[in-house]
Amino acid sequence: MIGTIGKDKHGTFHPTGAGLLMFGNEYRIVRHYHEYSLDYREMLDPTIRWTDRLYTSSGEWTGNLFDFYFRVYNKIILNVKVPFKMNGGERVDDTPVHRALREVLANCLVNSDFYVPRGIVIKQKNDILIIENPGTIRVGKYQMKVGGESDPRNKAFMKMFNLIGLVSVQAVGFRSYSLYGIRRDGWSRLLKNHIIRDARF
């Protein structure tokens, strides 16, 4: 069981909150999570507001977390350098930067509070990636940085992402996964811990 389907007292199956958020459609999600909002903005040209955008209310895609994760991930890795490397006669296209981006993006979704206004906002600029998510930091900012203690807000999401290898159940800390391999690749300003009020990841 991954927590996507529940059963009521009459024996009728229905999607759980986690199942709805992860695999549902935006117009159904907002009936239960009125503040639900996902927004990705690519801002590579300072003369215009954005060069690309993906947001839930556009009606052009499902608007769920699963779709958002993979659409955004495939956008933000476009400029990641992939050095030549072979393993067992096959080309290896995965780098520490790819792994760090997968985990930081998944953790953003896992730790969001979808009842809080503003929603998830991801901004990609030429040399920086800003990830903002709603909700307070449950273990505190210091513990988040050093790792060693995990208290995910959405444990069902954590299980789903862990099953497909996108996050670790071990609390490695923000500094560990965000900077691992990134400084070596010249992406030292890629990830910014952007804090608004008392929230944010």
> What CATH number does residue 138 fall under?
3.30.565
Q: Residue 138's closest CA among 118, 122, 155?
A: 155
Does 21 map to a domain?
A: no
Q: With DSSP H G I counted as helix, E B as strand and the rest as coil, what are the percentages for the chain, rounded to 5?
A: 30, 15, 50
Query: Which residues form the domain of 115?
Result: 35-193
Q: Residue 98's closest CA among 189, 199, 6, 182?
A: 182
The pair phi, psi for residue 100, each rounded to 5°, is -65, -40
- DSSP label at 37? -
Calculate Rg over the CA atoms of the chain: 18
- Number of domains composing the chain: 1
Does 22 map to a domain?
A: no
Does 126 map to a domain?
A: yes
Does 7 map to a domain?
A: no
**Strand 86-87 relative to strand 90-91: parallel, antiparallel, unpaired?**
antiparallel
The residue with tokens 């930091």 is 137
Q: Residue 198's closest CA among 133, 145, 150?
A: 133
Q: Please, where are the H alpha helices in 59-129?
A: 65-76, 96-110
- Look at residue 185 in the predicted model and tell me its pLDDT: 54
- Look at residue 169 in the predicted model and tell me its pLDDT: 53
The residue with tokens 């953790």 is 107
Give the 3-state secondary structure of 101-155: HHHHHHHHHHCCCCCCCCCEEEEECCCCEEEECCCECCCCHHHHHHCCCCCCCCH
pLDDT in tens, the chain (201 residues): 666 777 777 777 777 888 899 999 999 999 999 999 999 999 999 899 999 999 999 989 999 999 999 999 999 988 787 767 777 777 777 788 888 888 889 888 988 899 988 899 999 988 788 888 887 664 555 445 545 455 567 778 888 887 877 765 554 444 444 444 455 455 544 444 444 333 433
Does 59 map to a domain?
A: yes
